[in-house]
């Protein structure tokens, strides 16, 4: 994908503002471990320019009509479709997503969120009359959007499109590990005619760009997706400005497989889903809970499912590519070893690379059984293709285990009895709970506890970008009555 040495500020591609202090980072192809490009690391000076551009554009963009914003978003939709191949290629090269995943669900998520934003914007209630009072939803202002590398287009889309739709302006800092998707996204918005200054992009790392962006006095809100550690730092940086902060952070999500005839099939489905995107998904269902009395059946189904997960060159026809970086590889390897040391039963996988893959950050798809919920592999977010299977005695015990975590991002209940699954789903303390792997672009996505705050996706993603104003006496009392 080449180098990313310029930033998109005020409708133009610009070099770093402070060339004497500017530096670059290597972008590494995780399948080959070779450098495939460089990315410029921005500074506070670049952030100042980008925020100033966004602030300057806010007065006019915030006053555009819904019809005008829909037209712009439809233009974005058209260009996004034309550039979908470029986006998919960037994800395969820079983060190791298999081509089928990158060009399919990864790119498709961005397209789906855009279509949903357009649909919602057509009828979104920006004003509501309550007697003599008018309640108005107004754009919050300049938004700092900080996104991760694991689902680049999804995380950019769920921030940028609601911000555009509600009349906000913004500065995006995509991950420096996989920066090209962000650059292509900026090119798409530019080609679609998004007015200068409405959308701005500054590449860089957390200390160089994330910190000055989240603490900037002219930024009105920060939307962050990433680790709990980094999310806490963002919140601290933003606190002196009393700006709104929304966070989508980590997870250790439960998948409760109910005791019914579909157990083996549901276990297999859960294993396959866990290995998608090499397990690098914040909402990954990484803790599978099965009836203790049927543990042997579950283990056999899991072992068979793992055998069908092909690992290799993401440009080929495989289920799993590498994890995204050396740091991620080392972290996952250490936690797999930790599970072995803790006495968990290794059902499949383990440490080291898969056979025949001496180069690249490839991890064996790994399943542990005999896991208790106090083990590190059951409590820490591994962010790799590692599933732990935990036994439960009854449904109450399953719910207790599911909720015994500092996270609360997602969950799933798998079973043939829909009423039983619904009852269990209501008891899981998480923001996104599916039944039998249900999916909906309009469903609110976000976490309880240390998984964050605020909600993204669908109409719920609009609210964090809006302020609520009450205009009292908008209409005379006599007329209102």
Q: What is the pLDDT of residues 101-152, one digit of tens each?
A: 999 999 999 999 999 999 999 999 999 999 999 999 999 999 999 999 999 9
CA 474 to the chain's CA centroid:
41
Catalytic residues: 248, 282
pLDDT of res. 476: 82
CA 450 to the chain's CA centroid:
15
The token pair that represents 307 in the structure block: 């055998």
Is the Cβ–Cβ distance between 247 and 234 less than 8 Å?
A: yes
pLDDT of res. 479: 60
Cα–Cα separations (whole angstroms), residue 197 to 51, 168, 224, 324, 370:
9, 11, 21, 32, 55
pLDDT of res. 480: 56
pLDDT of res. 261: 80
Span(s) in the chain for CATH 3.40.605.10 = 7-249
- From 251, 290, 292, select the one nearest 270 (Cα to Cα): 290
Q: Which CATH superfamily is domain 254-435 in?
A: Aldehyde Dehydrogenase; Chain A, domain 2 (3.40.309.10)
What pLDDT tens digit does each residue of the chain (481 aa) get? 789 999 999 999 999 998 877 899 999 999 999 999 999 999 999 999 999 999 999 999 999 999 999 999 999 999 999 999 999 999 999 999 999 999 999 999 999 999 999 999 999 999 999 999 999 999 999 999 999 999 999 999 999 999 999 999 999 999 999 999 999 999 999 999 999 999 999 999 999 999 999 999 999 999 999 999 999 999 999 999 999 999 999 999 999 999 998 999 999 999 999 999 999 999 999 999 999 999 999 999 999 999 999 999 999 999 999 999 999 999 999 999 999 999 999 999 999 999 999 999 999 999 999 999 999 999 999 999 999 999 999 999 999 999 999 999 999 999 999 999 999 999 999 999 999 999 999 999 999 999 999 999 999 999 999 999 999 999 887 665 5
Q: What is the pLDDT of residues 395-420, one digit of tens each?
A: 999 999 999 999 999 999 999 999 99
Span(s) in the chain for CATH 3.40.309.10 = 254-435
DSSP annotation string for 23-92: EEEEEEETTTTEEEEEEEE--HHHHHHHHHHHHHHHHHHTT--HHHHHHHHHHHHHHHHHTHHHHHHHHH
DSSP annotation string for 143-212: EEEE--SSSHHHHHHHHHHHHHHHT-EEEEE--SSS-HHHHHHHHHHHHTTPPTTTEEE----IIIIIHH
Q: CA neighbours within 13 Å on the CB side: how many for 196? A: 9
pLDDT of res. 478: 67
The CATH class of the 7-249 domain is alpha beta
The token pair that represents 391 in the structure block: 């036994």
Within 10 A of 285 (CB to CB), how many other CB atoms are there? 25
């Amino acid at each position: 994908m080449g180098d990313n040495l310029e930033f998109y500020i005020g409708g133009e591609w610009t070099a770093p503002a402070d060339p004497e202090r500017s530096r670059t980072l290597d972008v590494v192809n995780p399948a080959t471990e070779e450098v495939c490009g460089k990315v410029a690391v921005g500074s506070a000076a670049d952030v100042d320019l980008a925020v100033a551009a966004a602030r300057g554009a806010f007065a006019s963009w915030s006053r555009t009509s819904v019809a005008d914003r829909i037209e712009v978003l439809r233009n974005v939709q058209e260009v996004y479709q034309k550039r979908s191949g470029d986006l998919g290629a960037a994800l395969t090269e820079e983060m190791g997503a298999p081509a089928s995943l990158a060009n399919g669900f990864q790119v498709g998520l961005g397209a789906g969120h855009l279509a949903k934003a357009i649909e919602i914007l057509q009828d979104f209630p920006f004003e509501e009359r309550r007697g003599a009072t008018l309640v108005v939803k107004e754009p919050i202002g300049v938004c700092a959007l900080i996104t991760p590398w694991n689902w680049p287009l999804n995380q950019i889309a769920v921030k940028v499109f609601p911000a555009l739709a509600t009349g906000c302006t913004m500065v995006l800092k995509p991950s420096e590990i996989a920066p090209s998707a962000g650059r292509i996204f900026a090119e798409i918005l530019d080609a679609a005619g998004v007015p200068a200054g409405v959308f701005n992009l500054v590449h860089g790392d957390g200390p160089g760009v994330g910190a000055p962006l989240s603490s900037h006095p002219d930024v009105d809100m920060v939307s962050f997706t990433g680790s709990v550690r980094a999310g806490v730092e963002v919140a601290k940086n933003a606190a002196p400005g009393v700006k709104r902060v929304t966070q989508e952070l980590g997870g250790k999500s439960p998948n409760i497989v109910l005791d019914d005839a579909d157990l083996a099939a549901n276990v297999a489905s859960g294993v396959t889903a866990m290995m998608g995107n090499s397990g690098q998904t914040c909402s990954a269902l990484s803790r599978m809970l099965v009836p203790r009395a049927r543990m042997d059946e579950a283990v056999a189904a899991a072992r068979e499912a793992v055998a069908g997960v092909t690992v290799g060159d993401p440009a080929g026809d495989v289920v799993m590519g590498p994890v995204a970086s050396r740091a991620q590889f080392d972290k996952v390897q250490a936690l797999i070893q930790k599970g072995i040391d803790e006495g968990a039963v290794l059902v499949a996988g383990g440490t080291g690379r898969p056979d025949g893959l001496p180069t690249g950050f490839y991890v064996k798809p790994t399943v542990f059984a005999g896991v208790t919920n106090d083990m590190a592999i059951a409590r820490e977010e591994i962010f790799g293709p590692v599933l732990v299977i935990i036994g439960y005695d009854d449904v109450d015990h399953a719910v207790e285990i599911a909720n015994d975590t500092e996270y609360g991002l997602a969950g799933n209940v798998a079973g043939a009895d829909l009423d039983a699954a619904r009852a269990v789903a209501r008891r899981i303390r998480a923001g996104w709970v599916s039944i039998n792997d249900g999916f909906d672009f309009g469903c609110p996505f976000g976490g309880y506890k240390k998984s964050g705050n605020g909600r993204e996706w669908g109409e719920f993603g609009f609210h964090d970008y809006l302020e609520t104003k009450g205009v009292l006496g908008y209409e005379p009392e006599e007329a209102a009555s």
